[in-house]
Amino acid sequence: MRGGYYKNELAGSLGLSRNTVRKYVAAAEAAGMVPGGPEVSAQRWAELAREWFPEPADTRVRQVTWPAIEAHRDYIAEQMKAGVTVSTIHQRLRDERGLAVSVASLRRYVAANLPEEARRAQVRVLRLEPTEPGLEAQVD
């Protein structure tokens, strides 16, 4: 709240939905907190959050399909290390192992549970060795 960010910006930077951010900000505003107001310690925020939202707090995203995907965790990690895309992994799991989840669910699972592998799969390594003109075609 101190930064005065828009709720959409805050949601994006925290990886939360806009509705979740609105819920927490509404509680803070109802308690009299405003952007630019006095600073609140992390410990106090934790106390206030437990008071305002007594339901169990789980920092992991809850997905009903994740237990089914978790059974294939080692296979997914192995495939990602081999450079296989998540779309291809999804297709193989669906066709060869009968996994009945969407590719979007698999992507969310990979991003939340295999973050290093997910980031590594997104990295593009440029070749530093020069090539002769005309030996290679490139498309922008």
Domain ranges for the chain? 7-52, 66-122
69 vs 29, more confident: 69
Q: For residue 4, name the pLDDT band (cuts at 50, 70, 90).
A: low
- Tell me which of 4-13, 33-42, 98-107 is least confident: 4-13
Terminal alpha carbon distance of the chain: 42
Q: Which pLDDT score, from 0 to 100, does residue 121 have? A: 63
Greatest mean pLDDT range, 77-81, 111-115, 132-136 = 77-81
Spatial contact of 63 and 105, defined as CB atoms under 8 Å apart: yes
**Cα-based torsion angle of the residue sequence 26, 29, 33, 35 in order, rounded to the nearest 10 degrees:** 80
Q: For residue 1, name the pLDDT band (cuts at 50, 70, 90).
A: very low
CA 82 distance to own-chain centroid:
22
Regarding pTM above 0.85, the answer is no
Report which secondary-structure segment, H or E, holds 26: helix 18-30
For 131, counting Cβ atoms within 10 Å of its Cβ (0-12 exposed, 13-18 middle, 19+ buried), the class is exposed
Greatest mean pLDDT range, 46-55, 72-81, 111-120 = 72-81
- Tell me which of 51-65, 90-104, 110-124 is least confident: 51-65
Q: For residue 89, name the pLDDT band (cuts at 50, 70, 90).
A: very high
Name which of 36, 60, 80 is nearest 93 in CA terms: 80
